[in-house]
Structure 1
Amino acid sequence: MKKQLLFWGFVSIAVVVGFLVHRDDVSAQRARSGTRSISPNSPASAFAAGDLVVYRVGDGSAALSSAAAPVFLDEYTPAGVFVQTIAMPTAVNGSNKRLVAAGSSTAEGLMTRSVDGNYLVLTGYDAAVGTTTVASSSAATTNRVVARVSAAGVVDTSTALTDAISGSSSTAANIRGASSTNGTDIWVSGTAAGGGIRYATLGATTSTQVSAGPPTNIRATEIFSNQLYISS
């Protein structure tokens, strides 16, 4: 399983945002902790101030590949105690789309916290689990999805872009991550056709290209002092 780590905090002092990619097996930790996994249609508990939230790809039942894998958000205390898992949708439910990730990608799941501190913002694909070479799909048929997860654990995957970061049979187009000031205005990063940096709003199906490069292979985005920063 692949993980992306984000410090979560709602306190007004010393809120730290950091990233760490690593592989781990959380099944044993979950069993020891006695805490619960939460499906997309189940009510989640609110995140606790100061806890860590991990973007996890896969459930440990199979090796990761370029195929679409389920995504989970795992919450831990700073002491490393597992708290809860929130699963991203793997079936369409009303306006909420599916959100999966390319299992073997090393530069997806670059989750951020909104500038106002109220939401986690993460990205993926509207595809069935197991879809082969999901990053090589066209955005018109496999929408690029931005999820907004509130401090209360409410998941919104209604932002499904048809014109952003679109692949083809010969070109992968990974959606990397997204940033937001307020949970409504969203900047998305990725590569290939329709890549670079794109701007969209919550619930949108189309986006506006802000920067096509160079650089074109945009990875992480983050907002500091009302300025959007990128890495490539």
Structure 2
Amino acid sequence: MSLDKVVSGPAEAVAGIRSGASVAVGGFGLAGIPWFLIEALLEQGADDLTIVSNNCGVDGAGLGLLLEHRRISRVVASYVGENKEFARQYLAGELTVELTPQGTLAERLRAGGSGVGAFYTPTGVGTLVSEGGLPWRYHPDGTVALASPPKEVRTFHGKEMVLEESIVTDVALVRAAVVDRAGNCVFHAAARNFNPAAAMAGRFTVVEAERVVEAGEIDPDHVHLPGVFVQSVVALTPDQAARKDIEKRTTRARQEEKN
């Protein structure tokens, strides 16, 4: 593959994502999510998607848009809050949801990208995570249609641990602050979150970049994600790069206004 991985735009980057594909998506809440790749995927029309992400956006934004348009059939996530449509579809039996402890989810993605098939962790031992029975899907009448299976538990160093399988997805969509043309990525502050792990897990990874530089301009010691994990780079415009919405805006009056 050419060292220049920059493509014409989000539409070209997601054109090959097929219906039924599994997609890892970076971000935490709305911080660091690939806004324009998600919107391009919505426009592209692929459906029956399995989404692997910390959460599924909010109503009307991020992955919440794909949910509203019924493009997602299964979600692997650690958090379902801030999204009423997510909860409605799940409880109505319209969506399969595999809830996973947050640290375990991050490690499942990282392990998948590292070629590790599975790993043992103490997180979840003695709960439904290891014993099985977590509702993955409901019937419309509220009864459980599909529950999680029990997992293998073994003892290491005197502590019980549960076996968790790694995750490898067909595609990964992430966002980075600075990316060179070879795909080496630098993430900014909290926006680093799930982005590197999600990028590693994808067989084909697309990154939308707030700023694109020439290969060699990023100090190797500053690279958070090597370009070997990236297949396509989308350069955002300055206006697009400035888009960084938040879930909730909470304000208070300035001190002088109070007096």
Question: TM-score, normalised to structure 2's length?
Answer: 0.23
Where relative contact order (Cα < 8 A, 6+ residues apart) is larger, the structure is 2
Higher strand share: 1
Higher helix share: 2
> Which protein is bigger by CA-based radius of gyration?
2
TM norm structure 1: 0.25
